[in-house]
Structure 1
Amino acid sequence: MKAALAGPGGELLYQARRATGRDRGPDAVVEGILDFAAELRALGVDRFGEPARAAGVAVPGIVDEEHGTAVYAANLGWRDVPLRALLGERLGSVPVALGHDVRTGGLAEGRIGAGKGADRFLFVPLGTGIAGAIGIDGRVESGAHGFAGEIGHVVVRPGGLPCPCGQRGCLERFASASAVSQAWAEACGDPDADAADCAKAVDSGDPRARAVWQDAVDALADGLVTALTLLDPRVLIIGGGLAEAGETLFSPLRDAVRRRVTFQKLPRIVPAALGDTAGCLGAGLLAWDLLGTDPHGPGPHGAGPDGTTPTTTTPPEVTT
């Protein structure tokens, strides 16, 4: 878990990390989040003379942002956890926002990171799986049912490898960091080899690594061109562990996307700027939006709960 006290422009005023405690069960994870949030709100009093004014939390899995429920998170063992209500009870009268981890990360990248100033962007982190965040005019789309941006489950290789979602040939089965790790481990015969090792082997000229890497890049480009055809983003932001390979990834990826576009307008393809703090910062921005304080314009709810629009002197909120 990552948590922070954040200012209205996304500045990190204090940050901390701790284990989720998921080995102790799903209820322990929830309790850990509640405790963490309460501690940071109290820290606001110690450091700024007032408690934090709002809270934002970003969680993985399927999230019902409207009702504040963590619907399903396999890695945490959650089903229908009313996290927003639980945080509201623990923190008192503080308004709470709940968001999906990838979408909140995309929100931060779009407003204050690599996509700053872009009216339309797509944020795609390449990690254990692949998801996406669709940014429009400073907001991120969750969709009618909370599934917007699930680019990892676009089929790019029909009849290909089976995916846990029930389909075959999904993008994340070929272009995620875990997929590259698996393919490289099989190709080099080392079960402990991972995507970072593959990238290093690519740089050293290993033809086996180059073949694995190019397969992943080609699959990724196919998925991204489908997305940009539908969404027409101005900026395409690539993050996650695989993006840490830098130009080893971005140079062939830009070429592969360029070769595939015809009538589409080619977006800028850039690395994410905020690293693994993006989700935490995005949760903070969600919280500021509750108060109507958005450094890029008025929030969706207008003035704050006290009838005023908070300024940068407002004490920061806790995000987890």
Structure 2
Amino acid sequence: MRHVIALDVGGTGMKAALVGADGTLLHEARRPTGRDRGADAVVESILGFAADLRAHGLAHLGEPAAAAGVAVPGIVDAENGVAVYAANLGWNDVPLRELLSTRLEGIPVALGHDVRTGGLAEGRLGAGKGADRFLFVPLGTGIAGAIGIDGAIEPGAHGSAGEIGHIVVRPGGPPCGCGQRGCLERLASASAVSEAWAKASGDPAADAADCAKAVRSGDPRALDVWQNAVDALADGLLTALTLLDPHTLIIGGGLAEAGETLFTPLRAAVASRVVQFQTLPEIVPAALGDAAGCLGAGLLAWDLLDTDEPVTGGPLTDGPVTGEPDRTPIPDSPEVTT
């Protein structure tokens, strides 16, 4: 059965799948990234995981993968296939596409930025399907964005389009790792809410999910922390919609798991900021969850191949995959939760 390898590399774990031409997940697996072992070990883990996936396809699907797609964090030169920099993984200028293609017996390999790759999946298969212009914004440890235009993700002239997390929304605010102060991700990311709620609640172990629970129970301290984050996020999104005029804003990541506890006040906050010349976009939750990066990597791989019908639908579009994918563990691939 013709298939591709899809691999989503995170700071803690890697998610992978063998993906059929109709979008069916034929096999899924996870492994720890092992960043504590250093950058070289992380790269070798990626190469080894991909090689094992190729072997699994050969053994169980009757042929090796036709192509591979991999999504990685940090700064990515997708055109040249280079993972330029990732602070969480400790690497610099890794020619990942070349290394993977060599390990995988010369098949074509696509390299993509994790958020833009997730945005590609949301645009074709998830919450952005049918929208000619959308912005995908995952609220996790940090905040980034993927700009969707006519079924493609805009990389920008230098590969850094969509970095909404580094819009300054509170001048003179808390310092950000980028060197500025008051960046959106320092105020409205899941990690920022966790930090603020831990301080407000006096519980150093408290996180954003705990804050959302306290908001639902009416805790005034939590309501204050949550509203501050919502207001900052609304200010950042207003800048984005002013520049991009999207039909849809897709909000994902860990903070979006709060559901209407986030979306109800966020929609109201954005609406209150929109002025006469602006059009209020639809604000919706992401549909694919933590599978978006892996699914997007599969789309990148299929896009490398000459196919009569590019992957734009199938079981992934309309609901759960029909039939159970093969989840037989690849040897030496411990499952992890990320």
Same fold (TM over 0.5): yes
Question: 1:192 aligns to what?
Answer: 205
Q: Which runs of 5+ in 2 are unaligned?
A: 1-13, 314-338
Question: 2:304 aligns to what?
Answer: 290
Q: Secondary structure at the match of 1:75?
A: coil
Residue by residue over 1:219-244, the C-alpha shift from the partner in whole angstroms, topping out at 9 and shown as x without a partner, is 00000011011111111100000000
Give the deviation of 1:179 after TM superposition. Answer: 0.4
Question: 2:258 aligns to what?
Answer: 245
Give the deviation of 1:47 after TM superposition. Answer: 2.1
Where does 1:2-17 land on structure 2 (aligned, <5 Å)?
2-17=15-30
Question: 1:303 aligns to what?
Answer: none
Is residue 198–residue 209 contact of structure 1 (8 Å, CA) maintained in 2?
yes
Give the deviation of 1:266 after TM superposition. Answer: 1.1
Is residue 299–residue 311 contact of structure 2 (8 Å, CA) maintained in 1?
no
Question: Residues 238 and 9 of structure 1: is their aligned pair in 2 closer, same or farther, counting only changes over 3 Å?
Answer: farther
Is residue 10–residue 112 contact of structure 1 (8 Å, CA) maintained in 2?
no
Indicate whether 1:20 and 2:33 are aligned: yes
Is residue 34–residue 90 contact of structure 1 (8 Å, CA) maintained in 2?
yes
**C-alpha distance in 2, partners of 1:289/1:128?**
29
Give the counterpart of 1:35 among 43, 48, 70.
Answer: 48
Letter in 1 for 2:299: L
**C-alpha distance in 2, partners of 1:196/1:155?**
25
Question: 1:94 aligns to what?
Answer: 107
Q: Secondary structure at the match of 1:18?
A: strand
Letter in 2 for 1:96: V
| Runs (4+) off by over 3 Å | none
Indicate whether 1:158 and 2:171 are aligned: yes
Give the counterpart of 1:274 among 272, 275, 288.
Answer: 288
**C-alpha distance in 2, partners of 1:275/1:287?**
20
Residue by residue over 1:245-265, the C-alpha shift from the partner in whole angstroms, topping out at 9 and shown as x without a partner, is 000000000000111111211
Is residue 229–residue 264 contact of structure 1 (8 Å, CA) maintained in 2?
yes
Q: Which moved more, 1:39-48 or 1:94-103?
A: 39-48
Letter in 2 for 1:179: A
**C-alpha distance in 2, partners of 1:10/1:189?**
46
Give the deviation of 1:7 after TM superposition. Answer: 2.0
Question: 2:4 aligns to what?
Answer: none
Question: 2:326 aligns to what?
Answer: none
Where does 1:1-320 land on structure 2 (aligned, <5 Å)?
1-262=14-275, 263-293=277-307, 294-296=310-312
**C-alpha distance in 2, partners of 1:182/1:224?**
22
Residue by residue over 1:61-88, the C-alpha shift from the partner in whole angstroms, topping out at 9 and shown as x without a partner, is 0000011000001111100000000001
Q: Secondary structure at the match of 2:80?
A: coil
**C-alpha distance in 2, partners of 1:107/1:252?**
27
% same residue: 80
Number of equivalences: 297
Taking only aligned residues, the RMSD between alpha carbons, in angstroms, comes to 1.1
Letter in 2 for 1:116: K
**C-alpha distance in 1, partners of 2:183/2:192?**
11
**C-alpha distance in 2, partners of 1:241/1:55?**
27
**C-alpha distance in 2, partners of 1:292/1:160?**
50
**C-alpha distance in 1, partners of 2:159/2:259?**
31
Give the deviation of 1:296 after TM superposition. Answer: 4.1
Q: Secondary structure at the match of 1:106?
A: helix
**C-alpha distance in 2, partners of 1:124/1:246?**
15
Letter in 2 for 1:289: D
Give the deviation of 1:23 after TM superposition. Answer: 1.6
Letter in 1 for 2:211: C
